[in-house]
Structure 1
Amino acid sequence: MSDVNSGPLPGPSSDPPYGSASTAAPGPEPDVASLHHVCRELAEAADAVREASRYASRVALGTRLPLTALGSRRTRASQRALIRTLLNPQGLGWGPQGRTPLAAVAWLAGVLTSRENLAVSLAVAGLKARIRAAAVRHPELLGHPATSKVLQAIQEDRQVEAVRTFKALLHEEGAEYALALLAPSFADIIAWNALTDENPFNDQAGWQVATGRALTSDYLMGFSGRVWDFLDRGQGRAEPHTPDPDLLGALDTSGTLVGWITNIGLIGTEGLLLVQQVIGPDGVLRYVVQFAGMARTLGAETPQDLLGAIDSVAGADTAYSRAVRKALRQMIPSGAEVALVGHSQGGVTAMNLAAHRDFNVLYTVTHVVAIGSPIDQKRPADPRTRVFSLVNEHDIVPSLEGRSAVSPYPLGPEFTEYTWTDDTHAFPLCHAAERYAHNLAHDVPEASAHVDAELAAYRGRVTGNRFFALHDR
């Protein structure tokens, strides 16, 4: 594994880096479990080095040493040696960290001048190993000439060229194919770029992705989740809605996963929420809440807009979730059992409601089913809530919160994750609710059957289909 630590990862043909032009016969594929172990070890080592750098910075560049000690020749010599260790490529690289003024200025200077940093190098090595592990299942990641050039440009700190090459890939192959091509490692590539570019604001997000932590800011500009929460200030409003008779007639009442996703595709992304009232096999009245994803137009008047989508990933209490809570209070009695089924932003909102303590006081959330949704860093407030995450690996949306479907980091015990690939290899086609319904009916019927069995209590006579129109304000 020395190549993982010290240099570019070999592509399927080992040479040149990322396998862009080699004609050599491919060697044996690496063991994915071993690569994932290396990824986690490198992330832990990077964290440890970063913490050591923080401590050394506090001692050498802060006020940790009293003035009386600084008068000692031995102390001054030790301080100089520590500073050399912090700044020496053979030591911690350019390693100043922390909030003391000198450390902050030195760190910023290092970012702006692309100085080598041991902690960052270890974190990037782990991200490279993750990309290589993903390429075992998705060889096109390293085998495609354009993606190989993008990765090589990032490797050599040529971010402008990386962006130019990616734009060329979008032009030549089409955005649909290009985004699907990068989807399995999109978050890892973006985090790698964030850690090595000259933008100091997105470093924290890069670190969080590299070490498997929940994102608290975006990894493009580095805006904190609190910023998006402040901008997404709509109080949320819900009004009963009478749908078109054709929509009512087309609704699926089978009480199956494929049926619920079909319904989500039917209600569209213009601010409708569907709640089906079901009498289960045991005679108990339960409710299935079905959430659609983001509207396709910018500046939509519903809470399902782009701003709301970003806020829903970074935060928990959004205009969308507030509007849904107001809708459900009009229909569902306190204490009732509910299942939350959502696609894309709708899945994130379902998970945000499951994580909301007040919502769990009102209702018993038995299940959350998220389809094509970035929910992996969220957790339900009630440990009894079962969460199902269903992901097409060419769908880029589920990886937007930093964890991809081929991540080395497992999900919590309350999660069941099903992932697959199909022959679309195109985004957003592979993200569409209709495509997910097709996948679950024909490509991965075992996943659909498992979810149906787990939610058997919600399969019964539908006694009501209630619609609500959701508004931002």
Structure 2
Amino acid sequence: MTAASTPGPRDTTGAGPQDAAAAARLTAVARELAEAAGAVRAAGRAVTAVASDPALLASLGRSPRSGLRAAGALARGLTEPAGLGHAPDGGRAGHAARLAGVAARRGSLAGDLAATALRLRIRLCATRHAEYGAESPVRRMLVAVEAGLPALALRILREDVRVRSAGHALAALAPAWEEVTAWDALADGNPFNDAAAWHTVTGTRVQSAPPPVPRPRRSPGAGSLAEPPDGVFPDGLDEDGGICAHLRNLAALGPGRMLTRQVTGPDGTTRCLVLLPGPEFVLPRTASPEGLVAAVAALGCGGSPYTLAARHALRRTVPDGMPVALVGHGLGGVTALHLAGGPGRTGRAVTHVVTVGSPTGSGRLPAPRARVAGLAEEHDLMPRLEGRSPVPALPPPPCPSPDRLELAWTDPSYDLPLCLGAEAYAQSLDKSAPEARDRVDELLAAYRGRPGKTAVHRLPGG
């Protein structure tokens, strides 16, 4: 679905060819273990379905001896360590038996294989990040994870949060976030969060309806409000036309706004560039967590007030038939992906979408022939809100479509929450990922030219 590309200096540990070969072998083993874990889990479900089939019970009456032998063989395969471990799963009977096994602390072969695969993937993450090799709380926690000690790992994380704050602790852990949380879900003795962990193990996407989000009250006539053209603000915009200039303009716009600018490109065609800022980043200790809650809610819902208002503003200000490029940061990137889901979404021809620090939108398909690029610094947790890393430990297969691109890099100077801002992303691209910057600039070359009509819109729910 996506093509992962990692521009810039990725090898921060000084690994040579031998280390690269060892990492490749480790990757192959981790992938095979994950596939084996999924196959063993599927086998357990299949055996459970046979063992709980009413036809098997009916056969006991017709042929008690052979029926009992078959039932005994199925039971041994499902419950004995020499078989699948404690592997009942699926259906009411299988679910009840599984819960009983968890209460009795019975392990399964599939769970052991999955946990081993995740620990290998955590080790792979450590090979890409120098801070994971140095003595630090994150290093001690990962050692505890690799040793299979969830209680010790959690204690180290809590101490790190107490000393350095939750933001710094989570940002340091972010490159291995999916693997660590999935491993913890499998090891914590709670069967109700295992399903999410298995999505990480097998690399599948969670298919679920978004949680109900209360809609804010809106006064009559409330909607997308186009502010009067500001004679000072547009003149203060960065006119370079590259992605870093767009990020600086996004930072200048601030949350809850949208900018539309008509640009006459090198070929003489007039196109419209749309900038969608993200929400203000707020920590749990500050006044309100609305920004993060809005981002989570918007992942599965294209009907948020911010998205609806942006759609209305596009239809009102962009001439019909004019090509449109959407550039969004954070929640603005999620909104851009929703708006790009075909002409029926906006009534306008969206040709390019660039998201920065946003979830990649694997479930939101843009319009046909729309070029989509996702930019993410590896310590940013926002792109991981869908449960998938922009740089997974196991590289995905090559993307069959050239229209979708993901670019990720590591900035060793990250400082949460400042590193999540649009201005910080611009600085990081210039300093740590110039290759990613240049590739996106090339992608948006048609939207680089003489600026024309510019309008700033104030949007609700932003």
The DSSP-based 3-state class of the residue aligned with 2:177 is helix
The DSSP-based 3-state class of the residue aligned with 1:231 is coil
Q: Which residue of 2 aligns with 1:117?
A: 108
Q: Which residue of 1 aligns with 2:454?
A: 465
Structure 1 residues 242 and 63, CA gap change in structure 2 (3 angstroms): farther
Q: Which residue of 1 aligns with 2:69?
A: 77
Q: Which residue of 2 aligns with 1:4?
A: none
Q: Which residue of 2 aligns with 1:162?
A: 153
Q: Which residue of 2 aligns with 1:16?
A: none
CA contact (8 A) 1:29 1:136 kept: no
Alpha-carbon separation, structure 2, partners of 1:393 and 1:383: 29
Q: Which residue of 1 aligns with 2:312?
A: 326
> What is the aligned residue count?
436
Identity of aligned residues (%): 38
Alpha-carbon separation, structure 2, partners of 1:386 and 1:183: 27
Alpha-carbon separation, structure 1, partners of 2:83 and 2:59: 28
Q: What TM-score do you get using the length of structure 2 for normalisation?
A: 0.84
Structure 1 residues 177 and 263, CA gap change in structure 2 (3 angstroms): same
Superposed counterparts of 1:302-317, under 5 Å: 305-317=291-303
Asked if residue 366 in structure 1 is aligned to residue 351 in structure 2, the reply is yes
Structure 1 residues 128 and 380, CA gap change in structure 2 (3 angstroms): same
Asked if residue 291 in structure 1 is aligned to residue 283 in structure 2, the reply is no
CA contact (8 A) 1:95 1:117 kept: yes
Structure 1 residues 385 and 80, CA gap change in structure 2 (3 angstroms): same
Asked if residue 253 in structure 1 is aligned to residue 239 in structure 2, the reply is yes
The offset of 1:169, in angstroms, is: 0.9
What amino acid is aligned across from residue 213 of structure 2 in structure 1? Answer: L
Structure 1 residues 64 and 194, CA gap change in structure 2 (3 angstroms): farther
Alpha-carbon separation, structure 2, partners of 1:381 and 1:358: 11
Asked if residue 96 in structure 1 is aligned to residue 93 in structure 2, the reply is no
The DSSP-based 3-state class of the residue aligned with 1:471 is coil
Q: Which residue of 1 aligns with 2:129?
A: 138
The offset of 1:52, in angstroms, is: 0.8
Alpha-carbon separation, structure 1, partners of 2:227 and 2:116: 53
The DSSP-based 3-state class of the residue aligned with 1:165 is helix
**Larger deviation, residues 137-146 vs 459-468:** 137-146
Superposed counterparts of 1:223-302, under 5 Å: 225-228=208-211, 230-231=212-213, 233=215, 237-242=223-228, 246-269=232-255, 271-296=256-281
Alpha-carbon separation, structure 2, partners of 1:148 and 1:297: 27
Alpha-carbon separation, structure 2, partners of 1:205 and 1:314: 16
Alpha-carbon separation, structure 2, partners of 1:303 and 1:350: 22
Of the candidates 403, 407, 426, which is equivalent to residue 418 of structure 1?
407
What per-residue deviation string (whole Å, max 9, x for no partner) do you get for residues 374-398 of structure 1? 2163453334222212222222322
Alpha-carbon separation, structure 2, partners of 1:384 and 1:33: 34
What amino acid is aligned across from residue 71 of structure 2 in structure 1? Answer: Q
Of the candidates 156, 159, 180, which is equivalent to residue 189 of structure 1?
180
Alpha-carbon separation, structure 2, partners of 1:370 and 1:121: 37
Structure 1 residues 317 and 48, CA gap change in structure 2 (3 angstroms): farther
Asked if residue 384 in structure 1 is aligned to residue 376 in structure 2, the reply is no
Alpha-carbon separation, structure 2, partners of 1:115 and 1:307: 37
Q: Which residue of 2 aligns with 1:65?
A: 56
What per-residue deviation string (whole Å, max 9, x for no partner) do you get for residues 143-177 of structure 1? 44423443455566654543332121122334443
RMSD over aligned Cα, in angstroms? Answer: 3.1
What amino acid is aligned across from residue 117 of structure 1 in structure 2? Answer: S
What amino acid is aligned across from residue 83 of structure 1 in structure 2? Answer: A
Alpha-carbon separation, structure 2, partners of 1:209 and 1:424: 28
CA contact (8 A) 1:312 1:352 kept: no
Alpha-carbon separation, structure 2, partners of 1:375 and 1:304: 21
Of the candidates 377, 380, 386, which is equivalent to residue 401 of structure 1?
386
Q: What TM-score do you get using the length of structure 1 for normalisation?
A: 0.83
What amino acid is aligned across from residue 206 of structure 1 in structure 2? Answer: A
CA contact (8 A) 2:282 2:289 kept: no
Structure 1 residues 39 and 464, CA gap change in structure 2 (3 angstroms): farther
CA contact (8 A) 2:119 2:145 kept: no
The offset of 1:91, in angstroms, is: 1.4
Structure 1 residues 259 and 28, CA gap change in structure 2 (3 angstroms): closer
What amino acid is aligned across from residue 465 of structure 1 in structure 2? Answer: T
Of the candidates 338, 341, 350, which is equivalent to residue 352 of structure 1?
338
Alpha-carbon separation, structure 2, partners of 1:246 and 1:305: 28
Structure 1 residues 355 and 64, CA gap change in structure 2 (3 angstroms): farther
What per-residue deviation string (whole Å, max 9, x for no partner) do you get for residues 24-68 of structure 1? xxx956633333332322222111111111111111134353624
The offset of 1:142, in angstroms, is: 5.0
